[in-house]
Amino acid sequence: MSARTGSIQQFLLIYDRKRDELLSHESFGDDAVAATTAYRAAEIEYQDHPEMDIVLVGAESLETIKVTHSTYFTGSAARLLDEIRAGVS
């Protein structure tokens, strides 16, 4: 799925604050319905795990997300950002 310039892309991030690790990431392109469905499923799956952040982010690019949500992209999470970037390009 490739990103179109100027369109808002949806990214679901699942982050473990205890481990400082981005456990999962998924790109939905501009499909907000699929993204919100996956977000709800993840919220249900991790409802008993308060250390988990389930985040649905909409932005024009991963670079924007890296700036606005930099907490998720430090340490081990930064490696996954590179994988996400490679998959979207």
17-34: per-residue pLDDT in tens?
Answer: 888 888 888 999 999 999
Q: What is the pLDDT of residue 77?
A: 58
The listed range with the strongest mean pLDDT (1-15, 37-51, 57-71, 75-89) is 37-51
| Interstrand relation of 52-59 and 21-27 (parallel, antiparallel or unpaired) | unpaired
DSSP three-state, residue 3: coil
Q: Which amino acid is at 70?
A: S
| Cα separations in angstroms, 28 against 19, 25, 67 | 25, 10, 20
Q: Which residues pair with 58 in a beta bridge?
A: 10
Residue at token pair 């795990």? 49
Amino acid letter for position 17: R
Give CA–CA dist 80/73, Å, rounded: 8
